[in-house]
């Protein structure tokens, strides 16, 4: 029986008083879903915000501008952290735990940067931190990795971890909107931030992948160890190639295990129309888990917007009413797994004529052509080389459909998680 069910059968649900940090898109979404879900035994006692002159739809008495009003209030059981400042968020989480309060957060950047320390703080204080809303919106992937897959041998996880970029790619690819128009619409709908670089450059899905790796394989990884390549360099030539060949383009985060090595990175990829991720459109996220016993399973749900994330945060609050906490089961299973980027990847590389990229840079060159001032080269190349090229002006990188991913030197085994 899972720990979640165990707790449910022995613990009476408590009525929780919440202290909320942040009342932006997700904070307001949480307020509304909590207000419309009478079965949840929780109420917001105080909301801490930054801007004093901003008009808000609730009574002024509910708001404070001092974090101590929440962190030092003995009546508040749970701190819900929903701000966009990762450094400040970590201080809030750390202080809340030390003050004997449980925490719910949706801050994937803060979690990715401090997950191991947050794990240690939970062990020291005995108080839980739940963060389902930080990874893939409404999809309950963290709880499933912890509970459903607690004894299964997981070999890989991949998917569309960012709803903003998936929305942009849908509009650009299917509706032939310009990249700038699609990005602007995503911002208007609240799917993308005013500074969209975290989304379109692949940082946001990388942060989520770092968290997922800890619950999939029991390995703590630093964000700077994980390579991310975004969609901001996808060209009209890339789009034409995809349409001409019946491919889609998706920004895919993936991690997989080969022997005692764990690999993980984020990059756009051409995918065939038969691939499960091909039909995942707009702001939807998808997570595909591959395991020894359950084989491949696909989870799909909304990944951007106030209500999807708000509902995930609400699920964590509900879990805390019966004292649920992550057990980090994979971390305590015996293994000697190490994270590495030593990987050869099959990719399409486009670049402006005159760029210093040549056939000799590829470990295995397959083909190439030139068109309208752009050059295209296809072949197998090291992941680290792709990361270097993706930082050059005028260079675009997209993985091949069903790309072969080959660990370097230590083993010659190949792994292809993105097969249809």
Show which residues are catalytic: 208
Strand-strand pairing, 42-48 and 16-21: parallel
**For residue 306, which of 83, 31, 26, 51 has the smallest C-alpha distance?**
26
Residues in CB range of 292: below 8 A, 6 or more apart: 152, 153, 154, 155
C-alpha gyration radius of the chain:
22
End-to-end CA distance of the chain: 33
Q: Which residues pair with 228 in a beta bridge?
A: 266
- CA atoms of 107 and 133, how far apart (whole Å): 8
- CA atoms of 35 and 29, how far apart (whole Å): 10
Tell me if 310 sits within 8 A of 32, measured CB to CB: yes
Residues 365-379 as b/e (b if ≥16 CB within 10 A, e otherwise) read: eeebeeeeebbbbbb
Tell me if 168 sits within 8 A of 182, measured CB to CB: yes
Residues in CB range of 334: below 8 A, 6 or more apart: none
CA 265 vs CA 114, 168, 197, 378: distances in Å: 19, 20, 17, 19
Tell me if 251 sits within 8 A of 160, measured CB to CB: yes
**For residue 100, which of 74, 118, 80 has the smallest C-alpha distance?**
74
Give me the residue label for tokens 């270097």. Answer: 388
Tell me if 347 sits within 8 A of 166, measured CB to CB: no
Residue 409's CB is within 10 A of a number of other CB atoms, namely 7
Tell me if 407 sits within 8 A of 383, measured CB to CB: no
- CA atoms of 252 and 166, how far apart (whole Å): 10
């Amino acid at each position: 029986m899972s720990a979640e069910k165990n707790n449910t059968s022995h613990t009476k649900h408590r009525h929780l008083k919440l202290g909320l940090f942040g009342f932006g898109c997700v904070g307001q979404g949480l307020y509304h879903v909590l207000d419309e879900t009478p079965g949840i035994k929780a109420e917001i006692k105080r909301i801490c915000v930054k801007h004093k002159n901003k008009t808000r739809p609730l009574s002024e008495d509910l708001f404070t501008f001092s974090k101590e009003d929440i962190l030092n209030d003995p009546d508040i059981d749970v701190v819900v952290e929903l701000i966009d400042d990762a450094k400040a968020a970590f201080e809030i989480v750390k202080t809340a735990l030390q003050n004997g309060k449980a925490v719910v957060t949706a801050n994937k950047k803060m979690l990715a940067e401090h997950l191991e320390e947050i794990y240690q703080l939970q062990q020291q204080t005995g108080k839980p931190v739940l963060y389902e809303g930080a990874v893939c919106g409404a999809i309950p992937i963290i709880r499933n990795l912890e509970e459903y897959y607690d004894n299964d041998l997981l070999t890989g996880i991949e998917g569309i971890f960012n709803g903003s970029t998936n929305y942009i790619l849908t509009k650009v690819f299917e509706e032939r909107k310009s990249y700038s128009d699609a990005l602007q619409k995503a911002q208007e709908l609240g799917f993308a931030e005013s500074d969209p670089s975290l989304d379109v450059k692949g940082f946001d899905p990388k942060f989520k992948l770092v968290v997922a790796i800890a619950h999939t394989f029991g390995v703590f990884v630093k964000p700077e160890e994980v390579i991310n390549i975004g969609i901001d360099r996808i060209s009209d030539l890339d789009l034409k190639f995809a349409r001409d060949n019946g491919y889609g383009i998706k920004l895919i985060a993936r991690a997989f295990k080969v022997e005692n090595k764990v690999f993980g990175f984020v990059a756009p990829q051409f995918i065939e129309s038969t691939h499960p991720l091909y039909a995942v459109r707009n702001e939807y996220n998808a997570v595909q888990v591959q395991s020894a016993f359950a084989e491949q399973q696909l989870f799909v749900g909304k990944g951007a917007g106030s209500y999807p994330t708000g509902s995930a945060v609400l699920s964590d609050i509900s879990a805390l009413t019966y004292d649920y906490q992550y057990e980090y089961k994979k971390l305590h299973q015996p293994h000697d797994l190490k994270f590495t980027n030593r990987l050869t990847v099959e990719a399409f590389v486009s670049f402006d004529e005159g760029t210093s990229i040549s056939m000799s840079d590829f470990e295995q060159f397959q083909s190439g052509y030139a068109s309208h001032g752009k050059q295209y080269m296809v072949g197998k190349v090291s992941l680290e080389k792709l990361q270097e090229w993706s930082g050059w002006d005028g260079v675009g990188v997209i993985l091949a459909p069903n790309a072969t991913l080959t660990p370097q030197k230590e083993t010659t085994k190949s792994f292809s998680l993105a097969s249809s």
